[in-house]
Chain A
């Protein structure tokens, strides 16, 4: 990307005038308050970063600005005009264009066809060839080289991002919003993108950068707004702040209680590796390698934590371990009673039968069924019921789990959907721990739980490892969680393991490896 030539001349916009103002925005989803009274100003001609952990509300905010969600309460102002935005078209009309992590392009259409859909100067009956010619000219002007007649599915990820940016420019965007758009880009491409943002700013454009990577925000932004649990914690000038201050804003009080969570586990389990992974390569849904040559092994009674910023291959790794994602290269082996079994690509049924519990990502979507009762959600597991279901046994098992995990529910025969998110999560963890004779494979095992319950659930997992010799591979977006439970921590970045730490390692060090 030759960013230097990306722009034709554009008149300077007056500096420091709010181009987008958000006032008292509220948005509620079933079970969660996603935005709580959010107010925010984005000034013309700045690069404004919005930082926050997963679930902090930053993507909800962006979706509201872009007309995908409708807010429950609150107002939006674009250039001091109050606006109602109900579709991306409205947003574009007001000068805001989104570049997202997953390029919003239609794969089977050509680049020209895709962009024609956004370009209003071309009428519906106009020939796509005309658009294609127009694009060729514009591409020359901006110094971009992508064949407008090629179908999008043939493009690389970086090229797709480039098409999105080209689209923003063609639409005369005043504000370009990047939604975690750099997460999947290689480092060199990232830097080109940062360069582009700065150039765009210099030409009078405004950039809204939504990210959870602190260094990224520090590198390019002029100001940073931090969201936490749906609330604006504050907005600071980047030049007047430090990484530590931002970290404090993002993570809050939890930051102070870190570093020394180790349980002082008395694991008395000797012996060889229960779970061994060698040179594992796994593709993501977008067909690129998300796990690149990962190797590790986990011993009986040992808990391996997989740390990393979301989207660096942890999810694909966990799914591959559970037998739910194809392994392209490499081996997954289990050792049961002294004999080794190769379970690579042997299907999830075998893996689960062997005694591996699994807590999936998006637990509420994939791990429980809302329209069924708690008992049914327990009995569905092949290890927990025979052909004829003995509801009495299921009921007593379910009641035990409800008691042991202090699940709040009217009864075990209540439908799962009446439970709160946290209690649903407990049902899932309870069921999976019951069947984890050999190992537990988990992604965010305590997502959605309050601090106390989360500690409790972690304790149960650790106890099971210590007392029964279960081993576990636990990936989590919450570093505290990993530090609290793991014997060994590996850090994944861009699909590879970039660091291995023993329990008790310093948090700063792990974070540095995560976000570098």
Chain B
């Protein structure tokens, strides 16, 4: 057991025990430990990658949302403008139509009044003629009681009526 001469017994036990330790630890310790470490690292890496991906997706989603919002705002503006225009147009149309209708009604009323007046005038003419004829009849009946006067009248009438 000198310092620099390897001792047979210790060599033997060292080979046996170190070798045994290596195989046992490899199977029961290093295998599970390195496996778990690797799994955990993969997990962490996976989680980090996922977070990065999610962040990217979120950013994309946000920009998309903004785009959609902007588009919606735009559409709303367009719609509002369109609605206003339609409303204005409708009002203008209504006004125009009302004007035209009013004009037409006035015209009709005027026409009706004209017709009425003409009818009235005609009626009145007729009445006046009838009245005049009645008066004339009465006057004639009284004047032509005798034969002479009748003759005279005929004479007059013939005289006045120029039959040419």
Q: Do A and B associate with each other?
A: no
